[in-house]
Structure 1
């Protein structure tokens, strides 16, 4: 029956692509779909559960299953000196950031290498969740060395924007030297923080920030974006 499940998934996906099914539209019942595809109801249910896990449809208890709403288009600042917060606010989104984590980072070769840190350096992680329309859109982790920002232990729990924090320290011109893009699936913790299912792909952006004037590396950043409710514009306008 696995082939039948895939046929149902492919058919529904194709109908979504062709706009035969519209965002927010209610799907037929499992019984009606079973009759349409001439398969047992359990086959339809398994197919729908897979579509739900991938973030294409969602369930409303007692009402049925619906196609996801139309994706919100968000422009990402992958380069330049405009922060994510500034970009969202300038575009008029119902946007907010919540600081969720400030942690001393044990030695980690990857993180320390990105920061050009030695094993004796003290490194902190600052975690924030970004929200648009009260929905979590991304988890933003910044890794910084204490030697770069000596008051970070005191300031860290209250930081929502690293770029704003730079400016408070007199650093007004900064840039990125490298930006990496990859795709992953959420851990249990990420599912909870981003309110998404286990099979929803996440887009991961890893980058750095460098003081233009001194060429000092300010931070290593890892941002994990939801892909099921948002469409990302990475056109460089800065």
Structure 2
């Protein structure tokens, strides 16, 4: 598996190219067929190769690399449009969450308040690349139950309500692996790491926290520019 990965990194294997058959790999590495099959299965789960029934295994085409500034002053939609990407957004849910001490504390919400999670799927060139989750308090946004299922850009929604400038206190970055639901909607395997970016959105004028944001990015679709604006 390490040798095949090295061939992928050094481009000895070309994107879109067909991999040698299992029989050829068994002979080349002098290992049992099961060892070869296990290695190929892991590479497929990690998103490097794919199978076609009756034809064999192929190296995936090179991923779209997206430059992304990890700051909270500009909306994701505005950033992608400014960079010229063909971005589409689909609202996928607006649902009330169970009490979560961390989220409620970040939103400065009381335990008896309702907090809703609005999820949007982001696609570039019709390919799913990220899930954006925004957590907002119903107390601050009383129409969120009605409006939530139609929101594609939270910043645009806030501007409609009179908010003009936004900032954030900090951004946290971590890594996780997708749940079965996330695998389905992101069209990725279980072993493709997701980059998790958590931040808040603050109204500059009032200094009130408008939302807590948790974004799941496919790690194979982005390069990350973390330069501060």
Superposed displacement of residue 80, structure 1 = 4.2
- Pairing partner for 1:231 from 212, 219, 222: 222
Residues 1:51 and 2:43 aligned together: yes
Counterpart position of 2:80 = 88
Query: Retained in 2: the 8 A contact 1:180–1:205?
Result: yes
The TM-score with structure 1 as length reference comes to 0.92
**Gap runs ≥5 in structure 2:** none
Give deviations 1:150-206, integer Å, cap 9, x for gaps: 211211110000011111111110011110000011111111111111111111000
Residues 1:123 and 2:105 aligned together: no
Give deviations 1:109-163, integer Å, cap 9, x for gaps: 1211221211021211101111111111011110001122121121111000001
Counterpart position of 1:183 = 175
**Gap runs ≥5 in structure 1:** 1-8
Give deviations 1:72-118, integer Å, cap 9, x for gaps: 11122321422111222222222201001100122111211221211
Say what the alpha-carbon RMSD is for the aligned residues.
1.4
- Pairing partner for 1:70 from 59, 62, 76: 62
Superposed displacement of residue 237, structure 1 = 6.0
Query: Retained in 1: the 8 A contact 2:90–2:121?
Result: yes
Query: Retained in 2: the 8 A contact 1:75–1:235?
Result: no
Q: Distance in 2 between matches of 1:60 and 1:133?
A: 23
- Pairing partner for 2:106 from 105, 114, 117: 114
Residues 1:149 and 2:141 aligned together: yes
SS at match of 1:72: coil
Residues 1:197 and 2:219 aligned together: no
The TM-score with structure 2 as length reference comes to 0.95
Query: Retained in 1: the 8 A contact 2:49–2:60?
Result: yes
Counterpart position of 1:22 = 14
Counterpart position of 1:5 = none
Task: Give the aligned length.
Answer: 229
Q: Distance in 2 between matches of 1:73 and 1:62?
A: 31
Q: Distance in 2 between matches of 1:107 and 1:233?
A: 32
- Pairing partner for 2:34 from 35, 38, 42: 42
Query: Retained in 1: the 8 A contact 2:72–2:199?
Result: no
Superposed displacement of residue 19, structure 1 = 2.0
Q: Distance in 2 between matches of 1:33 and 1:158?
A: 51
